[in-house]
A and B are shown apart, each in its own frame.
Chain A
Amino acid sequence: EVQLVESGGTVVRPGGSLRLSCAASGFTFDDYGMSWVRQAPGKGLEWVSNINWNGGSTDYADSVKGRFTISRDNAKNSLYLQMNSLRAEDTALYHCARGRGSYPVYYFDYWGQGTLVTVSS
């Protein structure tokens, strides 16, 4: 069974940093690209970032470019999102998702339940 479990979400002050993690199981992790998608409270879905199977290619939404960094450790079956210079508008539930297709063209066939990031003073 495919499982994606996010962690690392917490309350952080504006301008602060945070690192999210996603532990993957039930599939061959390095066969797939991965992504982060976020959802502000009561709002819709917003794509954040993609990474290809070996971490050699990454892509970001304009809203996070230069502040967030996606990475992966295939030996640990883990995906990460380093978030710097956080703003109130980054407050959201952050989902990791498994990408299907060929980088950078991904749809998402499995999603984690998400980890909540709240940016507030």
Chain B
Amino acid sequence: EIVLTQSPGTLSLSPGERATLSCRASQSVSSSYLAWYQQKPGQAPRLLIYGASSRATGIPDRFSGSGSGTDFTLTISRLEPEDFAVYYCQQYGRSPAFGPGTKVDIK
């Protein structure tokens, strides 16, 4: 079973700043089966990135994903007010699993 760890737990930033979120896996994630989701309070999760680096339909290009093996990163190049939310990574090999999440809040 692959366990995902996300860091930091909370990231306090201002609009316009760059956000770098980390997701680390306990074992190598095969074929970069790694996705990122955004969730705002009272809303369902929204797919941002799949295959570690492919943006989902309609996702702005300020969101980018990178990494392979056990270390993955979600970068938001310039934070917009609507980007303050919780972000989850997910490995989707056998027995899918989510990380605990990183909250991006307003500094």
Could you list which residues of chain A lie within 8 angstroms of chain B, going by C-beta atoms?
35, 37, 44-47, 50, 59, 61, 95, 100-101, 104-114
Contact = CB atoms under 8 A, between A and B. Distances in A.
The 9 closest A-B pairs by CB, nearest first: A111-B44, A107-B35, A45-B98, A47-B96, A107-B92, A107-B50, A109-B47, A44-B101, A44-B100
Interface of A is mostly: strand
Q: How large is the interface on B (under 10, 10 to 19, 20 to 34, 35 or more residues)?
A: 20 to 34
Contact of A44 (B46, B92, B98): B98
B92 A45 contact: no
B98 A113 contact: no
B56 A112 contact: no
Contacts, number: 60
Interface of B is mostly: loop
Interface of B: 33, 35, 37, 39, 43-47, 50, 56-57, 88, 90, 92-101
